[in-house]
Structure 1
């Protein structure tokens, strides 16, 4: 948990419904057992009944329930004025070359921006902007463009810099991506960041967030399994995956029903298949998952299989939590895990039953 302002400052912000504290703090009201955003329109509690949290996960762990009016379990970052301003600017001009001076020119303190983005997204705004530029270059290459054009679209000063950034993401420099490959790699943008999708004409082989540290190693392993036959481009399964992700993040369908190739050991495949059986809006502990596959003592092995999953969201390892209800490690980042579980809470009705959407 990060350091928060003192009680008096936070209570004053609560009374003022100060939007500057969106994404910074939440209030838990001990007299009701509810936690809220500081901007919540509900009647304000007494100061002595307030507890302060830096995340919805921390509030839930302390036993508080989310407010139905301000929905604090949702994406707090979207409501923070600094984050919203910079994300809107990035969306409007994704090939802009951002710097700390550029951030300051918009009236924001670079150190504050760095802290906010790392807390909410696990990376800095400058890293996100660099990824957005790289996506521009990948789009150009996918359309058959020249390397120099892809480099310029990405805003890189040199071809070597572009090749190095590309190789860090895909595990290979662009010229090693086979033009006649059976497997095709592309970038899909989601509300939680870019994802690399690799598919052939029959199944999805990999779906990972672009900032996952293990992504390049996973791509190299997949390349070896495929005999190096991975190229840039799309297949019908890529289109199906993108459509399913769009419906998922729009709250329309919690089941990502996509044909997949589960490339792993027999044990890993059993774990991954059981993960796919967890409905959106529900969670399991590692021990429950181990029991479900008939090996209740294999909790560590189950956790290892979770970490080896290369099909994020489609094989929903984010639905596995600690036995005490806490959010445990997630390769895509705990901030994403919290947002995914909050999103999937919408696939439940207020009685706790799965809704017809999921």
Structure 2
């Protein structure tokens, strides 16, 4: 599974979309105004700035890290938390008829520009729409084989005319041959939208295995490790754990949830799991240091090792490594980027303050 950086539309097209308030580009880019220090959705109804005073960002957090504030009128952080209507309609159509082979002509008939769709999927899923469809069909085939279905039937149902073509595509996607599926564990993934940009969630039958921001530099390496070291076959799909984390994450960002109940499964070394267990104990709205965690583990001189295990955490927000700061109070590193770390700490601090005010 290869996750690539987002590719923004041409500058002239983004300027046009901004000036015309083209809502079709919701979720594709954000407009930041240099003279006001505010960033907006493409369809914002506020007075439009001069094009020379504007710059564009693929994600809301990128605009925030550049020093821009969210517009109070169009609320771009809320927009970042949902897929645009035209994408949601398409995803519902795919769920209703998973065997349909979508062509560019069919997309255009639905009012969807294929190039725009390609860019949105590359940004939010790390692959094109058609690649996602192929991967989704192969994921359905994987589930069928895992449940005892024949490889021949799986290949035919997936739309492949030759068994060899199916085997090649299957092995390229899952790093195993169809015949070895019985000895592997399917790891289903879905994209989640959040105010800090898109995330990817992965879960198997025992629980949630991964929750990361799609632009995390180490994400590709983490997924390859899950495939090669732990034998997972990664495929798009849904299960109860993915549905639960989507609901709980939305509540967290709304300031209405302080802990997560979704079951977890954490492949890793014994020491890493010890560190992750301590991360789980850090109270909501509070912070600690690498040295303090090392002391709790009886290894006061192991701050560096704790930091390394902290960085190997695959469950952003759930295992709250954003609550670990430097001994001098600095934010230090964070796999999702320091602007996101600062945002999460502000979110939790504000929620705690509101709770305390309501208590008096």
What TM-score comes out, normalization by structure 2 length? 0.64
Paired with 1:149 and 1:316, the residues of 2 have a C-alpha distance of 44
Which shifted more, 125-134 or 49-58?
49-58
Task: State the structure with bigger RCO (CA 8 A, min sep 6), 1 or 2.
Answer: 2
Aligned length: 325
The change in CA–CA distance for 1:21 and 1:171 in structure 2 (over 3 A counts) is closer
**Mapping 1:293-332, distance limit 5 Å:** 293-294=293-294, 304-305=308-309, 308-309=312-313, 314-315=318-319, 329=335
**Mapping 1:123-134, distance limit 5 Å:** 123-134=127-138
What SS does the corresponding residue of 1:35 show, helix, strand or coil? strand
Alignment of 1:34 onto 2:41: no
Unaligned 5+ runs, structure 1: 224-229, 233-237
Q: Which residue of structure 1 aligns with residue 268 of structure 2?
A: 264
Offset from partner CA, 1:135-164 (integer Å, 9 cap, x none): 322333354333233223333333344444
Offset from partner CA, 1:253-285 (integer Å, 9 cap, x none): 5633355454434542344234434677x798x
1:119 Cα deviation after fit: 2.6
1:198 Cα deviation after fit: 5.0
**Mapping 1:93-242, distance limit 5 Å:** 93-99=97-103, 103=107, 110-178=114-182, 185=186, 187=188, 189=190, 191=192, 195-197=202-204, 199=206, 204=207, 206-207=209-210, 212=220, 214-223=222-231, 239=240, 241-242=241-242
Paired with 2:225 and 2:301, the residues of 1 have a C-alpha distance of 29
1:129 Cα deviation after fit: 1.1
Paired with 1:193 and 1:263, the residues of 2 have a C-alpha distance of 17
Alignment of 1:60 onto 2:64: yes
Offset from partner CA, 1:38-78 (integer Å, 9 cap, x none): 3234x426549954331312221122222344331245495
Aligned-residue Cα RMSD (Å) equals 5.1
Paired with 1:187 and 1:51, the residues of 2 have a C-alpha distance of 39
Which shifted more, 99-108 or 68-77?
99-108
What SS does the corresponding residue of 1:73 show, helix, strand or coil? helix
Paired with 2:73 and 2:333, the residues of 1 have a C-alpha distance of 24
The change in CA–CA distance for 1:340 and 1:101 in structure 2 (over 3 A counts) is farther
Contact 1:141 1:147 in 2 (8 A): yes
